[in-house]
Structure 1
């Protein structure tokens, strides 16, 4: 194998190590998280905004508008939660959930929450994730570039391909790493185990628990506790669209699916803990 090919392999390994260092997270702080924070871990920005809307709707501060939008319905009520205040402050006019999540006030509030989760070791910082992905793509591309430039043949080609495949395959595997480290995924799994989605909305009378269920389960919990608000406000089918868990955002268990189907047809019957619906 040409000596120059070893330089390409060494460069590929160095890029891989730098990317792995960027993706490392420090030990997480096991503090009690607000429902918006749990939603952000599970399903990203849209999920966090959705839970904030649920809390505001429970106090009568927002309502479903026309054509799948959300509108303000008075003041935000007695809350100091930055995400709820940012979301409510964004509703100078009726907005769809995606436009609302992209509004500067709401976006800034969610970004601040994400920063707190970054510092707690429950999310990988976006800047580091982007830099790591660039390095991983370079890692995977360096070996083919080296083979084209050095043109090894025979045994040298086989050896270069075998050795060079190790960092390239590792880079492709790390590219699939979700933004949430294992500590965050274990936290969500533990909460779901302790708080399975109930079969009927009347089993829950605590509005805070409703927010927790929406944070953990997304659409099934929305359809169970707030069927009319979720449907008319265009919330269903949107939660988790930019999910941090890379495909794990739309968690649905068997009980959750059946509960959602039953409540969607129930309209606004039953008070439960969902607030005005």
Structure 2
């Protein structure tokens, strides 16, 4: 199986696999908020805080999001800002190289679907933030989307426009684009793709079928320590991948 499945799960990549760009951005905003880097602005927007000193970034996407907030923005605006668009394109290109995403037609591979199913089997949807470390919160949001976001960060999610009408928060429907690809999905060429999303991410009701599993593994993530490790998406030229 791919490199991504043999190392500690990266919540940003997991979110992108599960729900596309919007889900990955939701995790980045949640992480920045937990560390006091961003906050809700006027209703439905996000802005930088007045935090002093060195800013801590756990992932290049976080650095890109923070850089893009030179002025407050609604979550739907962020994907169009160039530094964020490049960061997401690089992430998608890496997942394509790992065999977890297809470039054309865009979507998850069977290996990615198995990977997500395995993660759900071992990580339950939390009931609330009590006792959860930041890593576990971000991983829950990556894996379960809006349901986890409302369990661990409900106030920020509502005030920042991450949930509710016109929100960024994903339901996992057509996360890799619509257009002509909708015919591809309707004809079932990628069996299980829509079933994954319809069964797991559109259900905003009670708990998850996986309640009761140990949450311990949710603490895994890559520590980019101020953006000095891995790729720097804050400025340079974007990588390959598809838009």
TM-score by length of 2: 0.68
- Please report how far the alpha carbon of residue 67 of structure 1 lies from its aligned counterpart in structure 2 after TM superposition: 2.1
**Per-residue deviation, residues 210-241 of structure 1 (Å, max 9, x unmatched):** 00000001101111000000000000143236
Aligned to 1:31: 6
Aligned partners of 2:174, 2:160: CA distance in 1, in Å? 19
- Please report how far the alpha carbon of residue 73 of structure 1 lies from its aligned counterpart in structure 2 after TM superposition: 1.0
Q: In terms of Rg, which structure is larger?
A: 1
Aligned pair count?
A: 183
Determine which of 20, 31, 36 is the counterpart of 1:60: 36
Aligned to 1:222: 149
Instruction: Note the residue ranges of structure 2 that are not aligned, 5 or more in a row.
Output: 177-192, 209-218, 220-243
Determine which of 169, 175, 179 is the counterpart of 1:243: 175
Aligned to 1:44: 20
TM-score by length of 1: 0.60
CA distance change for structure 1 residues 197 and 34 in 2, over 3 Å: closer, same or farther? same
8 Å CA contact 1:200, 1:224 repeated in 2: yes
| 3-state SS of paired residue (1:71) | strand
Instruction: Note the residue ranges of structure 1 that are not aligned, 5 or more in a row.
Output: 1-26, 130-177, 261-272
Confirm or deny that 1:234 pairs with 2:161: yes
Confirm or deny that 1:96 pairs with 2:70: no
Confirm or deny that 1:77 pairs with 2:55: yes
Runs of 4+ in 1 over 6 A off after TM superposition: none
**Per-residue deviation, residues 184-208 of structure 1 (Å, max 9, x unmatched):** 1111111111111123332x42110
Determine which of 97, 102, 110 is the counterpart of 1:119: 97
